[in-house]
Structure 1
Amino acid sequence: MTLPVDTQPEPDAPQPPTWSKRTLAAQAMGHVDPVTRAVVAPLHVSTTFIRDPDNGYSSGFSYARPDNATVREAEAVLAMLEEAPAAMLFGSGMAAATAVFGALEPGDHVVAPAVMYWALKRWLREEAPRRRLDLDFVAMDDLDALRRAMRPGRTKLVWIETPGNPLWTVTDIAAAAEIAHAAGARLAVDSTVASPFHTRPLRLGADLVMHSGTKILNGHSDVVAGVLATAAQDAAWTRIGSIRAGGGAILGPFEAYLLMRSLRTFPLRAAAQSAGALDLAARFAQHPHVERVLYPGLPDDPGHAVAARQMEQGFGAMLSIRVAGGEAAAIATAAQVRLWKRATSLGGVESLIEHRASVEGPGTPCPPDLLRLSTGLEDPDDLFADLAAALRAAHPGA
């Protein structure tokens, strides 16, 4: 994508294709501030900008609601990570996702996953009828079911989430893209859990990629943000941008500044957290008080073959365990941890544990004996010891 003038690399610096993504992220695309020569981009907080004598805006900025220089900086790095011509930042992951659905026309047919981020599924159930969208939920790991759900000429969007929260089911992105495109639909992928470090959906045929930037992209539990990246800057992308500008859904500059800080270390964090999750998954798969571990990195996981084909450098930082003894034992286990934090969210440097069915409430597809685990940067030995002790405490005399 074309960068703003003040984010262009130095004239004598290597052009981006000669740098790895890890290098580009670490150096924020090689940015050097042209005014101060600082290696960290300044924070732009102004809400308004001076007009030229001819009443134009030669700077490219007119008002803060549709655009911001700090936001552009972070968008450039995100587009690079996703190998996209453009990326767009929103005030939350929900704002990013709902903008995609908001760009559809009344009467359009949408196919979404049966198991997906609960807040978005609830929003779809409530809002699709009001917006006159025709909606079907499908088990996306069943490609035949996806094919049967398609309505050529009417299906305009297929939304998938892989791995899917909180069961970590895996959808074949390339196959889903082929099915969607054959029916004249676009494919959007919620890749929050995989992140650009593990999966590049656009390379596999997706039209849009969405992330909750709150999660591992930021990774410090101090920013709420949403991201969209596109395969083409087409009319649909322009429409999404108009929705963001008109609704004031752009990310704030301070949050964008913090997100940019985090993106510089994102590849290192993602690698370490994924390695820790795999270690814990393998250990808990042998634990006497764990009935089952849900993690696509395990060879016996139903989604492992597809995940191994479309994910790179690991399988992500998220796993779930189903606790022997059912719901009561799962809740008791979460109550006993000392190192793991009982909190909602995922992808942060601190490890989190959550009894997900309690959070999602009635109608959840989440088993009542399931604990969702977000692996942080702590020593895996410490994390295992803490949760193993909690499992023992929840099973006295076992």
Structure 2
Amino acid sequence: MTRHDDRSRENRFKTLAVGAVENATRHENGRTSDVVPPLHLSTTFEWASGEDGNEHDYSRESNPTRAALEKQLALLEGGEHGLAFASGLAAISTTMLSLVPPGGHLVSSDSIYSGTEKLLTELVAGHFGVDVEFVDARNPENVAAAVDSDTDLIWAESPTNPLMQLCDIRAIADIAQDYDIPFGVDSTFASPYFQAPLELGADIVVHSTTKYLNGHSDSIGGAVITDDDGISEQLAFAQRIGLGNMLSPFDCYLVARGIKTLPARMEHHEENAMAVARLLEGHDRVARVHYPGLESHPQHDLAVEQMSGYSGMLSFEFDGSLTEIEAFVEGLKIFTPGASLGGVESLVEVPSLMIPDEVSHGSTTADIPENLVRLSVGIEDVDDLCGDLRSALP
């Protein structure tokens, strides 16, 4: 695995992931400190005034379990403020609708998750009249050419779903700073363990906690982390009062549980994905592999520069017909056909077969090849995973 020479953040991260958040709760008989953050399912809390006043009163506005998770999310990303949402798209939509006014201007990378693309084209642009401009963000000059003093938000995804494209986060952050424009990055594919957008200059980082943060495919959620007090206040108001789309206490509990093993899982995901990527790259029925950890990836140098690892997501272009791809998927025994990603189990998805109405995970100018196969490489035995692929490939 290729990593930065400075491992201080990685070591610190592992400690934070296991549990550096204060988990204590108050009871009538004093103070207890739970090793595992407690699950508070109560919708309401006894009201008290004065010095005895409690921090939480109604769970839509604040809940101890959610507060603990939000603090931990902020710590993992090196930010000041964390907010937990009901889904990744809830986190993204709240960010966009809070920061971009009706009739405003938003610049987005053109290779993005299909849900984000539909949100931008059908709701943000279609309903609120926002001028949404898609650009190939692999070249920062394209972003610079699209923004002006009236731009309200720059949005990017890195690595992208499913083409594994990167954007130069630091370069785009410099552009955003020149115009005093908020810059948000969806860093779900990298996870906080392998990429720190705030440290690279972004103002906002978003995750679908459904994926690597939870890691066990049993919780839907999203997160926004920022250093900006004003942005945090806007999003918190929208989350708790304006839209009411916060993460439930039980899902917060599941995400917090998953975070404890995030570093160990991510290292295993990456190790397995690298082996799978090299296997596929050398197979005569694979035309091209998209994985930033490979030297053949056109942005490999950028990946080395701004990521501390390459995660467990990759895609490849199958050299064959859709019928042959379907037979390949049916021949897999360990990789399960299914949507989503980032769990401990390995998944395979063929957009043109499984989501034909979309044809791709991003239907803007970033065309997705019909023969594209996306893999979420899990943490099973690497020899079993590679053997599964060899057996299924014609």
* TM-score (structure 1 length as normaliser): 0.89
2:6 equivalent in structure 1:
none
Question: What is the Cα deviation at residue 328 of structure 1?
Answer: 2.6
- Separation in 2 of the partners of 1:379 and 1:106? 50
What is the identity, as a one-letter code, of the residue corresponding to 1:111?
Answer: V
Alignment of structure 1 residues 387-398 onto 2, 5 Å: 387-392=389-394
- Separation in 1 of the partners of 2:169 and 2:321? 33
Contact 1:32 1:40 in 2 (8 A): no
1:143 equivalent in structure 2:
140
2:13 equivalent in structure 1:
21
1:84 equivalent in structure 2:
79
2:48 equivalent in structure 1:
52
- Separation in 2 of the partners of 1:180 and 1:219? 32
Contact 1:110 1:158 in 2 (8 A): yes
Question: What is the Cα deviation at residue 352 of structure 1?
Answer: 0.3
Contact 1:326 1:368 in 2 (8 A): no
1:342 equivalent in structure 2:
337
Give CA-to-partner distance per residue, 1:301-333, whole Å, 9 cap, x none: 011111110000x21110011111133322221
Specify the SS of the correspondent of 1:155: coil
- Separation in 2 of the partners of 1:250 and 1:345? 21
2:289 to 287, 293, 305: 293
**Does 2:128 align with 1:134?**
no
2:304 to 292, 303, 308: 308
Contact 1:290 1:324 in 2 (8 A): yes
Question: What is the Cα deviation at residue 275 of structure 1?
Answer: 1.2
C-alpha distance 259-310 of structure 1, shift in aligned 2 (>3 A): same
What is the identity, as a one-letter code, of the residue corresponding to 1:90?
Answer: F
Give the share of equivalent positions with the same residue, in percent: 36
Contact 1:24 1:30 in 2 (8 A): no
What is the identity, as a one-letter code, of the residue corresponding to 2:176?
Answer: A
**Does 2:376 align with 1:374?**
yes
- Separation in 2 of the partners of 1:316 and 1:117? 17
Specify the SS of the correspondent of 1:261: helix
Gaps of 5+ in 2: 1-8, 361-366
RMSD between aligned residues:
1.7
C-alpha distance 360-183 of structure 1, shift in aligned 2 (>3 A): farther
What is the identity, as a one-letter code, of the residue corresponding to 1:59?
Answer: N
1:178 equivalent in structure 2:
174
**Does 2:152 align with 1:156?**
yes
Question: What is the Cα deviation at residue 24 of structure 1?
Answer: 2.1
* TM-score (structure 2 length as normaliser): 0.90
1:352 equivalent in structure 2:
347
**Does 2:60 align with 1:65?**
yes
- Separation in 2 of the partners of 1:53 and 1:256? 28
Question: What is the Cα deviation at residue 360 of structure 1?
Answer: 5.7
Contact 2:321 2:371 in 1 (8 A): yes
Gaps of 5+ in 1: 1-16, 393-398
1:244 equivalent in structure 2:
239
- Separation in 2 of the partners of 1:69 and 1:360? 42
Give CA-to-partner distance per residue, 1:93-149, whole Å, 9 cap, x none: 000000011112122210112111011101211012311211011111022221211
Give CA-to-partner distance per residue, 1:234-287, whole Å, 9 cap, x none: 2x3211111111221110001101111111111110111011111111111001
Q: Which moved further from structure 2: 138-147 or 82-91?
A: 138-147
Q: Which moved further from structure 2: 131-140 or 328-337?
A: 328-337
Specify the SS of the correspondent of 2:236: helix
2:194 to 198, 211, 215: 198
